[in-house]
Amino acid sequence: MTNSENATSRRTGLWLALAVALLAAAADQASKWVILEHVMDPPRLVEVTPFFNLTLGFNRGVSFGMLSSDEALGRWLLVGLTLGIVAALIVWARRADGRIEAAAIGGVIGGAIGNVIDRVRQGAVTDFLDFHALGWHWPAFNLADAAIFCGVAAMLLHSWAADRAADKKVNALPLNGAIEDKRNEA
């Protein structure tokens, strides 16, 4: 690949990541608006299926409520940390090896931005998706969290597949035959 093709590929990866990020953040914010303004007015539990409810919650921390704080400083530290991570992900997206990796990074960026918007606007992240089974409830989450999870999962699968492909390529090289040929020539 020439330098020009490589630069074009990187720009394409960045634009794809940013498009996916915008879509993820917009879907997250739209879903939260519907939940807050229409479904949960007044707040209540909506049983959708025997294993899924809509329920309103506000998370002042990160995943599973870790680092939760009612202090304004804690909120702004989480916003700053998240924006720093988003900046690093944008650099990564610019260097992405392909569309799958770029789209996956975009999902993580969009989810992070969706949750940052909540923290800035209301001091906490709005959660409303509640899955449960046999009396056990997964912590409530939102579409931003789902975008982050799916993006990370796709990045891990992409990395695993790339590693397997590289291993197959290395194992397919005729190293033993080349060594034997060199020995026979001597």
d(CA 133, CA 53): 11
* Known active-site residue 163: no
Catalytic pick among 28, 118, 127, 130: 127
d(CA 171, CA 182): 19
Is-contact 39 125, C-beta < 8 A?
Answer: no
Side chain identity at 121, as an amino acid letter?
A: R
| Structure tokens belonging to residue 184 | 């026979």
Is-contact 61 127, C-beta < 8 A?
Answer: no
Is-contact 28 127, C-beta < 8 A?
Answer: no
Cα atoms in the 13 Å half-sphere on the side-chain side of 176: 2
143-172 vs 99-122: helix crossing angle, rounded to 10: 160
* Known active-site residue 97: no
Question: How does DSSP classify residue 132?
Answer: E
Catalytic pick among 70, 145, 163, 181: 145
User: Annotated catalytic sites, by residue?
Assistant: 127, 145
